[in-house]
Amino acid sequence: MDVPARDKGFTGSIPELYERYLVPLIFEPYAVDLAHRLAARPVGRLLEIAAGTGIVTRKLAALLPANTSITATDLNQAMLDMASSIQTVRPVSWERADALALPFENASFDAVACQFGVMFFPDKVRAFSEVRRVLAPGGVFAFNVWDRIEENEFAATITSALGLLFPQDPPRFLARTPHGHYSLAAIRHALHGAGFASAPGIDTVAARSRATSAEIPAIAYCQGTPLRSEIEAHKTPTLAEATEASANAIRQRFGAGEVEGKIQAHVVVVPC
């Protein structure tokens, strides 16, 4: 399925809100998981694609040996600017790069990591082919993708709430892109099409998403992702009204005060 251009727009205040709210809400536990999987392998040169605001990068910098070089890339300069502004325990090379045309030589890296970026690639076979090209023989590609939206309770609740608020044209960013590419068969097919000969190892990993109030996941999703642009394109109801409707829906489902919901993702590791 094609990815609309608006779904890839991490600009304006989105990077700051993404880092402040969304990273601790849903990304951090999977960043720890992915970093530990890679730290268990001999990696001298690591490339991260679609690094976002750098949560995986920071975990890798802390876990990998000091002599491992880390190059972190993203298509969105605003996300890279946010990532590079946050201190890492050791130097990281930050570079703007398109995953569909990586600016690196063949066999340049021992590992490639990608946290929740694959869903945004308009041509997944081409992106996976680029990963395979820059991996050295014996290297590994490790990435994760969100499972279907029904397995991710805050995202599902907000999507349903916005469907009621915008009945004529409901914003479907969360279901369409972040949670729209969970098919394991499609993942295996794309990897095979890109030339990965070995079968990938795939684990489905559930975790818990926690926040001190219903407002936090509402702000995180409605204002800290490209869902914001889809809401704002409607003019009315406003972004503030959509955020409040989302918070109310979370409050009704998960209670007042602290809230907690299930999140679930697939973690894929494939050797080159």
The residue type found at 233 is A
Q: Would you say 94 and 31 are in contact if contact means Cβ atoms under 8 Å apart?
A: no
By the 10 Å C-beta count (0-12 exposed, 13-18 middle, 19+ buried), 13 is classed as exposed
pLDDT in tens, the chain (272 residues): 466 666 556 878 899 999 999 999 999 999 999 999 999 999 999 999 999 999 999 999 999 999 999 999 999 999 999 999 999 999 999 999 999 999 999 999 999 999 999 999 999 999 999 999 999 999 999 999 999 999 999 999 999 999 999 999 999 999 999 999 999 999 999 999 999 999 999 999 999 999 999 999 999 999 999 999 999 999 999 999 999 999 999 999 999 999 999 999 999 999 99
For the sheet containing 109-115, what is the strand order? 93-96, 69-74, 45-48, 109-115, 135-146, 259-271, 201-211
Provide CB contacts within 8 A for 72, sequence distance 6+.
47, 48, 51, 54, 57, 80, 83, 92, 93, 94, 95
Provide the residue ranges of all domains of the chain, joining segments of one domain with +.
5-271
Is domain 5-271 classified as CATH 1.20.120.530?
Answer: no
Provide CB contacts within 8 A for 130, sequence distance 6+.
99, 100, 101, 102
Rg, C-alpha atoms of the chain: 18
Q: Which two tokens stand for residue 138?
A: 């014996």
How far is Cα 24 from Cα 57, in angstroms, rounded to an integer?
A: 15
